[in-house]
Amino acid sequence: MNATLPLSPQVFAILSGLIEERTGIRYSEADRELLAERVSPRAIERGFDSLLDYYYCLRYDADAGAELALLVDSLVVNETYFFREADALRVVRDLVLAPQIEAGRRPRLWSAACSTGEEPLTQAMLLDAEGLLTRTELVASDISARALERARRGFYRGRALRALPDGVIGRWLFPEDDGVRAASRLLQAVDYRRVNLLDCAAVEALGTFDVILCRNALIYFGDERIKRVVATLSARLAPNGCLVIGVAESLLRFDTALACQEHRGVFVYRKTEP
Amino acid sequence: MSGHASARARATACRTLGQFPTHPEINVRLREALSDVDPWVRYYACQALGRIRDEFSTSAIVALLRDNSGQVQVAALEALARLSGPEPLQALTLASASEDPDIQRAALVALGISKRHEARPILQRALGAGEPATRLVALSALAELGFSDDLRPLIGLTRDPDAAVRIAALGFLSSEVGQAASSALLDLLDHEPTRDDLVVALARPIAGRADTILAALQSAMEPLAVALVAALSRMNSVEAARALESALLSPNDASRRAAAAALSARGELAEKPLLERAALTDRDPEVRRLAAAVFTQ
């Protein structure tokens, strides 16, 4: 049984404020019940029967950092699948990565909110199909330690496989028990890191990239956080590098340093100025 | 209790003991737990001693306001809310000015729980805090004391930039009994007649409110008349139904039009004779048209 602890408007205000401050994930007043449902299992697991007590745990406990990481795991929706919005991944391969390789460089791609790894592995498959995988550096990160652990394991089943095109099974994914396991050369090609996109120093430490994929992650942030995250990501783009966001997301209402360009029906945000 | 190996078990024990009626043996154990090595044990011991109003612990709990663990400080504040005498009030007043927003908020909550009249000016000042969460906490704490006759701070917060504060302020204002709160809501609606949250607030079935709305309908123009009738329609009470019927007999054309539209939409059998009369005899053609609509449905 999943019990939900009561969440008063006052406790919601301070708890959602703390979560937004630390992770960027924003909950509006309309999400109060949703937040209570998501936070309650963690609070109960820690032995609390009040979300105010749990808030004080996150705020003051000696172990607050580790607890917050576990809470983030339960807040972030890790809903993704292989070949999700794959046209965008083909466009960046052909538009940015392949020309760099032809020019004798080793381009870098960062999947900035990779969840359980389906996105970077899809990108790895698309690169491998063109013989470009070993000549590209792939970095993938997420805020959730649990999601990254699953990404590194490379075992998938069920809904993660719902959009697989023909020819993937047996070439890059291999049946195992009730699911599939990713080819070890794909897993080895991806460098997984745990990164909070609000942590500027951690993002900066990753270096610069020719492509940054940050798809379906900005929807969790408020406008101010989006501006901040986009500015941080823009600073990590190499000249002419491009940022790709989800098809349901847009940066057009923000004043960014990036130019929105359309290629084969896919919108990318390009760094046209150094 | 402090000899038990598991801090979690000791904390759970303190939390549970606070839910029992006071007993000398329990009180002694809880007082001992105030100096437990684990902060969560001290936290729940504070809460429990506050709940059972153990006045012997006052000084020890005040001392925990300087505890190294923040959660113990906030639990001490909560406990002091339920303890009498000048020492707790002094400590709460001091903490309400803390730079740590959680300590400040915990003190404000505690001042509300204490229901001491000295808390009112402190809580009213905190309504102007920069942090929306602090304003929200101060507002809820003030509600514990009651808003007395001065509804101005509450009215001001119905226009707060933060949605949660606005919703809470309107919630408190709408549930206040008396003419002053109803008049304040009417005044707000007069300025912003399209604000649905104000209509919902006004529609709360508080004694006398339907009559206040009906009185306002005697002179209300559109769109205020429509909003007032919408509030009566939502109120779902016998008084509100009577007020709606009276509005259909009002000398004010705007009120009769709004009432005719609302009563037609309701389609209540008992109201049909009234609508039929309006459809045949009202001097305003729009009222006649709206009242007749119920018979064509």
Range from A66-70, A164-168, A254-258 that averages highest in pLDDT: A164-168
Q: Exposed (0-12), middle (13-18) or buried (19+): which is A178, by Cβ within 10 Å? A: exposed
Residue A3 lies in a domain: no
Nearest residue of B to residue A55, measured between CA atoms: B71
pLDDT at B43 > cutoff 50: yes
Would you kindly state where each structural domain of chain B is located, as residue ranges?
A: 1-114, 154-297
The pTM of the full predicted model, rounded to 2 decimals, is 0.70
Q: Which of A33, A48, A75 is the last residue of a domain?
A: A75
Number of domains chain A contains: 2
Contact B70 A12 (CB under 8 A): no
Size of interface A-B (CB pairs under 8 A): 52
Instruction: Based on the fold, state whether residues A176 and A206 are members of the same structural domain.
Output: yes
Residues of A with CB under 8 A from a CB of B: 9-10, 12-14, 17, 28-29, 47, 49, 53, 56-57, 59-62
Per-residue confidence band for A187, with pLDDT thresholds at 50, 70 and 90: very high
Helix (H) or strand (E) holding A223: helix A223-235
Instruction: Based on the fold, state whether residues A257 and A123 are members of the same structural domain.
Output: yes
pLDDT value of residue B5: 63
Instruction: Based on the fold, state whether residues A109 and A47 are members of the same structural domain.
Output: no
Instruction: Based on the fold, state whether residues A262 and A185 are members of the same structural domain.
Output: yes
pLDDT value of residue A235: 95
Q: Which of B8, B70, B102 sits opposite A47 (nearest CB)?
A: B8
Instruction: Based on the fold, state whether residues A90 and A56 are members of the same structural domain.
Output: no
pLDDT value of residue B21: 76
Per-residue confidence band for B2, with pLDDT thresholds at 50, 70 and 90: low
B42, A56 contact by CB (below 8 A): no
Helix axes A9-23, B132-145, angle to 10 degrees: 170
| Residue A80: CB atoms within 10 Å | 19
- pLDDT tens readout for residues A123-179: 999 999 999 999 999 999 999 888 999 999 999 998 899 899 999 999 999 999 999
Residue A34 lies in a domain: yes
Task: Average the pLDDT over A21-49 and give the result.
Answer: 86
Per-residue confidence band for A13, with pLDDT thresholds at 50, 70 and 90: confident
Contact B71 A59 (CB under 8 A): yes
Using alpha carbons only, what angle is made at residue A13 by residues B71 and A16, rounded to the nearest 5 degrees?
85
Of residues A97 and B154, more confidence is placed in: A97
| Residue A159: CB atoms within 10 Å | 10
Task: Average the pLDDT over A236-252 and give the result.
Answer: 89
Residue A212 lies in a domain: yes
The tokens describing B171, both together, are: 């919630």
Contact B136 A57 (CB under 8 A): no
pLDDT at A1 > cutoff 50: no
Instruction: Based on the fold, state whether residues A45 and A105 are members of the same structural domain.
Output: no
Please, what is the average pLDDT of chain A?
A: 91
DSSP symbol at A241: E
pLDDT value of residue A111: 97
Output b/e per residue, B198-233; b: 16+ Cβ within 10 A. bbebbbbebeebbbbbbebbeebeeebbbbbbbbbb
pLDDT at B139 > cutoff 90: yes
Residue A236 lies in a domain: yes
Q: Which of A10, A28, A47 sits opposite B136 (nearest CB)?
A: A10
Task: Average the pLDDT over A177-182 and give the result.
Answer: 94
Please give the span between the terminal C-alpha atoms of chain B, in angstroms, as a whole number.
74
- pLDDT tens readout for residues B204-240: 999 899 999 999 999 999 899 999 999 999 998 899 9
CATH number at residue A112: 3.40.50.150
pLDDT value of residue A265: 85
Among A46-50, B90-94, B242-246, the range scoring the smallest mean pLDDT is: A46-50
What is the residue whose two structure tokens read 């009185």? B215
Distance between CA atoms of residues B150 and B166, nearest Å: 18
Distance between CA atoms of residues A173 and A191, nearest Å: 19
Among A98-112, B94-108, B194-208, the range scoring the smallest mean pLDDT is: B194-208
- pLDDT tens readout for residues B247-256: 999 999 999 9
The tokens describing A118, both together, are: 């389906």
Q: What are phi and psi of A268, to 5 degrees?
A: -125, 155
pLDDT at A2 > cutoff 60: no
- A-chain residues near B123 (CB < 8 A): none
Residue A4 lies in a domain: no
Distance between CA atoms of residues A64 and B81, nearest Å: 27
pLDDT at A49 > cutoff 90: no
Instruction: Based on the fold, state whether residues A143 and A237 are members of the same structural domain.
Output: yes
Architecture in CATH of B154-297? Alpha Horseshoe (1.25)
Amino acid in position A43: A
DSSP symbol at B99: S
pLDDT over 70, % of chain A: 98
- pLDDT tens readout for residues B99-120: 999 999 999 999 999 999 999 9
Residue range of the domain that includes A45: 9-75
Task: Average the pLDDT over A102-110 and give the result.
Answer: 97
Architecture in CATH of B1-114? Alpha Horseshoe (1.25)
Residues of B with CB under 8 A from a CB of A: 8, 11-12, 15, 39-40, 43, 69-71, 74-75, 102, 105, 109, 132-133, 136-137, 140, 163-164, 167-168
Q: What are phi and psi of A5, to 5 degrees?
A: -80, 150
Task: Average the pLDDT over B264-281 and give the result.
Answer: 88
